[in-house]
Structure 1
């Protein structure tokens, strides 16, 4: 066999734009279409916002304005403004930025100098304007190529920086910004920066009480066991309460204003510190899981030079607070040990409620231990030949894999639907879990049922969330049922299961409903899949004449060849979100309690099917 030539011609040096565009996942995680909070379009916004936040932290500018109209995003701060001579370099030259100079930016987030360059390279249009000292400089780019720059020697504009960008649709397919996700990001920024105001599409967001506000805004007061414990120190802030209703542990953790959704050193240290402090306070060696069961908490720390385990900075790897300072673990242990102990001494009512909660958790755990052991053995046997799970290769906990955020588990009902998805899925990132008929209504039941019911036990094992969310194996959990009355009921039963036992899966935006087309409209040249009557009318107008119209009654009717369109690049997911105005208890009671007429009305109003179909299948 002839030897392949390997000469200078084979060595290719990519310029900065090409590298980012060829490997966007290295810089912004997954691409996505905006239906998930960690999709690339939100990371682009975050990268621009991080620079504005760093200005606020340095004492420059108290207001940030964000406008998102369709595809166009505008972010304006009133900070110091980029030095005018460097406006082009800062957004288009790698390793250029003020963060390399520790005097100008202490404890900042964006230390890699890549952020706005990635936004520029991945945007069809990108414009930066900087105003300082009565002068203004602007530069316009298309896909990272400089198209125009302008200097105004005199301007009445207020100082600061304004960035406008339109993500490139050839990279982010059919994307759309969801206000709920942008609002959540904005709220996290204001909780971490009391005194900062962010105006998003005309609505003001501001926080005076930091992480205490975060817990209050994410939870209904009726779900809390005791008033929030709010502790603040140098470079650290903590907020803690326990839930009356949820079983699992919930942590919101941050480093230098960065939301570390994957936790890391600081979160592990905080969990450890909680256990040690509470054991010392009560003088009893309670089991760690009993102390932490139902905890709802937030921790934010500031570190001199943080080391993250990925470019998107979702997990802290650093062990030090900074040169000459103690380790993250020692620092957090000392702070929680001292401050939480003081708080419990001063607030005996909270201390008593907490101890009762721990003892109750201990009692439940002991009652469960036998069942748990049996269930684990069953799950172990089943996972060796788990008929319900067709697994994929890449999982969320593979920190080194740049496709981990795409990992998806489809929960389907019936063999035909499971078969179609299984045959058309991407075996690298998409797994399928098949239900046999309707799952059990778990409303009002104890955790015992999760172990006693084989399907629930296997689903819990597949997700790997028995003890905590940290080992969750799939980033997206997608309920894929027919768009009819039975399908809607199965959705509700599954949402009830997650709400009852694992609400943070929903709170953290991991749970979705798969939207599948109701109609196929086609002629000899083109096929259009329609998700509503309106889309069907548009398709019929587009394919004039007499196009053929097929109505899909169930997922099983859609062939695997067609199905791959609906779970591939064009997948449409509807996120399941919690309404803070309703406590989880009220929500479960509404969906699954005894108020059947209300629920029937809700299901009928929310079914995306024709009215006659609902009337034929009265609930």
Structure 2
């Protein structure tokens, strides 16, 4: 084993240049997988969107190529890339090769006041994480070109005169597989991203050209009225109320010692009893986890709808108030807010934490809802009454859930109180097994040999009722049968009307993964086995049809030699074992009843999942057994006589005539 390096002063190192992103991409992009790769693409798209929202260009083209490279083209002012006297560096070097550098730090300058990107990380970080990147920039009457390879510039800045009228930037790059574990960002991810940006940037056209399959497939996204059009699209034609739009602004601080900043708020919402959607955006970024706007919506809507219901006297005496879950169940809302200072949870921008944004939006929405309810009383009544219906439905569902839980618990408690039933420890139904054994002596042997972690035991005393001949009133007077049904927990398939103590059949309430019939290998044991099987066939046939019922085979003979013990389950098996033993001395003993077997033998032959023999009872087996049983013990006397006359001679050797 290699000697561990000593942890000393020389152990502390810092990442420099491109390695700050290439070796730790998840810090910037949220992950080093395909999601992080998708976010790196969004960083470039967001820069173009900031330009368009500031009034420079109204169209952005995004192209995905077959080699997973991406191109983003905008028609803004073009990235400044010439020499920067103030910084004494080339702007292209700052923008493409310096983290925390960009044009979004000058507060109050009017440039990117409400910007999606604020940290100066996106373009540089994406360049660092690319296998290669090219940039073509048109501004100031010039065409600028840059090339990068794995985070390093190649060839410097190339500049030539340009006589065309267009301005803007064209960035193309290929995410590096040495940085991301997966760069195959799905076309659907692009479509979702661009559609969301079209929603919150009214009047801007975003075009996606999917060339990943080798041919061009274009999708275009445009919402003239932004979130209003989108909310109408989400709600469809059958909403309870029309879409209502409200907007406002506020200025404030997150903390007294911090600078004041501005917030702009835009909210479109309606109520529906078929659709429910909440989407939050801030500075154009979709807030997948919400944060401040989500807290504002929850507080404002619950407060105002609760006040309306109280004012109209629609709460019953001592009735609890609504919750946001009741509101959300019928609310379609899209919020798009902007602020000059934004506190994101992290660089992936999936939630914001600004205290003032939450406060400002809460006050704004409370006021807007109050006015809306006054000015649109019919819509207010429809919306608030639907919320009340949602509340009552939720409470009824909760009561039903609690009732079902109590019933199941009661069934389990009842099973635990069934006389002589021995449960197992695990609650994992996929592992639990129920052994149905005959009599107390067999139960004692099984109990001492079982694995108490997952094997439960239910003894049946004597021969149970013939369920094919008996009517239901007699069947459910049998303690053996009703106790066994209670222990299994799944009820009976009779609609529950024949016995009020036994529930209607529900397979999901079955407490075991295997029901194992375990009886002696003799005539009485076979008869008891058949009676149990017949009971299951009549009262819970689904257990057989779905493969939950098994028969445990017990050995007929125990054959001992000086070095080994053999178990024979049939006469042919006994003959084969004796043939293999040959001239070796052996003793042979007819297997005793289950109750007389020692624990080691029981575990080995009957209980151990690795060595036992279980026969799964198939639906055809059960049906045939029931028919034969009905013939032999049913009411068909003439059929039984004919069967004995035809087949009786086959069983003369088994008769005990002593």
| Short-chain TM bin | 0.5 to 0.7
Q: Secondary structure at the match of 1:100?
A: coil
- 1:255 equivalenced with 2:255 (yes/no): no
Q: Secondary structure at the match of 1:336?
A: helix
- Given the alignment, which residue of 50, 59, 66 partners 1:63? 59
Which residue number corresponds to residue 148 of structure 2?
Answer: 141
Give, in whole Å, the separation in 1 of the partners of 2:159 and 2:362.
53
After superposition, residues 162-241 of structure 1 pair within 5 angstroms as 162-173=170-181, 175-201=183-209, 202-222=218-238, 224-234=239-249, 235-241=264-270
After superposition, residues 119-158 of structure 1 pair within 5 angstroms as 119-157=126-164, 158=166
Give, in whole Å, the separation in 2 of the partners of 1:376 and 1:239.
41
Query: Which structure ranks higher in relative contact order (CA pairs < 8 Å, sequence separation ≥ 6)?
Result: 1
What are the Cα deviations for residues 301-330 of structure 1, in whole angstroms up to 9, with x where unaligned? Answer: 11221111122010111112xxxxxxx233
Residue 94 of structure 1: how far off its partner (Å): 1.5
Residue 41 of structure 1: how far off its partner (Å): 2.6
* Alignment coverage as a number of residue pairs: 378
After superposition, residues 138-537 of structure 1 pair within 5 angstroms as 138-157=145-164, 158-173=166-181, 175-201=183-209, 202-222=218-238, 224-234=239-249, 235-245=264-274, 250-282=277-309, 283=311, 286-288=321-323, 289-320=325-356, 328-373=357-402, 387=428
Distance 1:356 1:7, change over 3 A: closer
Distance 1:365 1:174, change over 3 A: closer
Contact 2:235/2:272 (CA < 8 Å) preserved in 1? no
- Decide which structure has the larger Cα Rg and report it: 2
Q: Secondary structure at the match of 1:64?
A: strand
Contact 2:246/2:267 (CA < 8 Å) preserved in 1? yes
Give, in whole Å, the separation in 2 of the partners of 1:72 and 1:98.
26
Which residue number corresponds to residue 89 of structure 1?
Answer: 94
The two structures have a TM-score, normalised by structure 2, of 0.53
Q: Secondary structure at the match of 2:280?
A: strand
Give, in whole Å, the separation in 2 of the partners of 1:453 and 1:306.
54
Which residue number corresponds to residue 486 of structure 1?
Answer: none
Contact 1:137/1:149 (CA < 8 Å) preserved in 2? no
Distance 1:193 1:4, change over 3 A: closer
Query: 5+ unaligned residues in a row in structure 1: which ranges?
Result: 34-38, 321-327, 390-451, 456-619
Contact 1:225/1:243 (CA < 8 Å) preserved in 2? yes
Give, in whole Å, the separation in 2 of the partners of 1:119 and 1:89.
14
The two structures have a TM-score, normalised by structure 1, of 0.56
Contact 2:207/2:220 (CA < 8 Å) preserved in 1? yes
What are the Cα deviations for residues 386-406 of structure 1, in whole angstroms up to 9, with x where unaligned? Answer: 8489xxxxxxxxxxxxxxxxx
Q: Secondary structure at the match of 2:290?
A: coil
Distance 1:40 1:4, change over 3 A: closer
Give, in whole Å, the separation in 2 of the partners of 1:67 and 1:219.
31
Residue 337 of structure 1: how far off its partner (Å): 2.1
- Given the alignment, which residue of 35, 45, 48 partners 1:49? 45
Contact 2:129/2:175 (CA < 8 Å) preserved in 1? yes
Contact 1:267/1:299 (CA < 8 Å) preserved in 2? no
Give, in whole Å, the separation in 2 of the partners of 1:230 and 1:74.
35
- 1:12 equivalenced with 2:33 (yes/no): no
Which residue number corresponds to residue 77 of structure 1?
Answer: 74
Distance 1:179 1:333, change over 3 A: same
Distance 1:385 1:30, change over 3 A: farther
Contact 1:73/1:164 (CA < 8 Å) preserved in 2? yes
Q: Secondary structure at the match of 1:99?
A: coil
* Runs (4+) off by over 6 Å: 375-380, 452-455
Query: 5+ unaligned residues in a row in structure 2: which ranges?
Result: 83-90, 210-217, 250-263, 316-320, 413-424, 431-505, 510-658
Residue 92 of structure 1: how far off its partner (Å): 1.0
Distance 1:168 1:370, change over 3 A: same
Q: Secondary structure at the match of 2:355?
A: coil
CA RMSD of aligned residues (A): 3.2
Give, in whole Å, the separation in 1 of the partners of 2:41 and 2:427.
41
Give, in whole Å, the separation in 1 of the partners of 2:145 and 2:119.
23
- 1:114 equivalenced with 2:114 (yes/no): no
Which residue number corresponds to residue 30 of structure 1?
Answer: 31
Give, in whole Å, the separation in 2 of the partners of 1:258 and 1:385.
48
Residue 377 of structure 1: how far off its partner (Å): 8.4
Residue 258 of structure 1: how far off its partner (Å): 1.1
Residue 182 of structure 1: how far off its partner (Å): 1.2
Give, in whole Å, the separation in 1 of the partners of 2:427 and 2:344.
36
Residue 99 of structure 1: how far off its partner (Å): 1.1
- 1:101 equivalenced with 2:106 (yes/no): yes
Give, in whole Å, the separation in 2 of the partners of 1:176 and 1:303.
34
Contact 2:200/2:226 (CA < 8 Å) preserved in 1? yes
Q: Secondary structure at the match of 1:84?
A: coil
Contact 1:236/1:302 (CA < 8 Å) preserved in 2? yes
Give, in whole Å, the separation in 2 of the partners of 1:109 and 1:64.
15
Contact 1:88/1:139 (CA < 8 Å) preserved in 2? no
